[in-house]
């Protein structure tokens, strides 16, 4: 769904572990005529050389990665040192009642689709050794927009 917003990109490479999602993306690409390279693969083991991409984008994904910190470390690895990592994620609400509901029902969400909806995306980013340069939260503190740079962990 990000493709229509990436009109200034010279080249786009997309990776997803799901053949179903890749086929949906291919359908959108065919309609748009954009030049986008789609690949099936694991976010935890990206098949690209270090420092390959100017920008790495992930949208609503860390909740379903098997190992979100490892996936974020891979994003950091493939991002050029002067590049950016842009994330839109969801996590535990800052509203007490909503956050408590998420905590009580997280196992149901995992069983339904693998979504850990009560994690803290900004904390995962920090654990991966990525430096956040700007972050916002919206909609009861659930949705995070994060702009980061691939600083190496100390």
Residue 34 and residue 56 in one domain = no
- CA distances to 31, 39, 137, 140, 151 from 25, in Å: 10, 11, 27, 30, 30
Residue 47 lies inside a defined structural domain of this protein = no
Residue 95 and residue 115 in one domain = yes
Residue 34 and residue 106 in one domain = no
What pTM was estimated for this model as a whole?
Answer: 0.91
* Residue 19 pLDDT grade (very low, low, confident, very high; cuts 50, 70, 90): very high
Residue 61 lies inside a defined structural domain of this protein = yes
* Residue 153 pLDDT grade (very low, low, confident, very high; cuts 50, 70, 90): very low
Full residue range of the structural domain in which residue 60 is found? 52-154
Instruction: Check residue 43 and report its DSSP letter.
Output: T
How does pLDDT run across 38-95, given as a tens digit for each residue? 999 999 999 999 999 999 999 999 999 999 999 999 999 999 999 999 999 999 999 9
Cα–Cα distance for residue pair 51/24, rounded to 1 Å = 28
Domain count, the chain: 2
Residue 2 lies inside a defined structural domain of this protein = no
């Amino acid at each position: 769904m990000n493709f229509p917003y990436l009109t200034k990109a010279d080249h786009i490479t997309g990776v997803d572990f799901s053949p179903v999602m890749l086929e949906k993306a291919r359908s959108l690409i065919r309609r748009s005529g954009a030049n986008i390279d789609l690949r099936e693969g694991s976010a935890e083991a990206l098949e690209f050389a270090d420092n390959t991409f100017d920008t790495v984008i992930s949208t609503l994904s860390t909740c379903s990665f098997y190992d979100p910190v490892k996936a974020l470390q891979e994003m950091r690895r493939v991002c050029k040192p002067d590049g950016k990592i842009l994330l839109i994620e969801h996590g535990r609400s800052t509203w007490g009642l909503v956050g408590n509901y998420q905590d009580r029902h997280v196992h149901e969400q995992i069983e339904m689709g693998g979504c850990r909806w009560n994690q803290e995306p900004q904390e995962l980013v920090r654990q991966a050794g990525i430096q956040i340069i700007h972050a916002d939260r919206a909609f009861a503190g659930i949705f995070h927009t994060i702009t980061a740079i691939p600083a190496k962990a100390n």
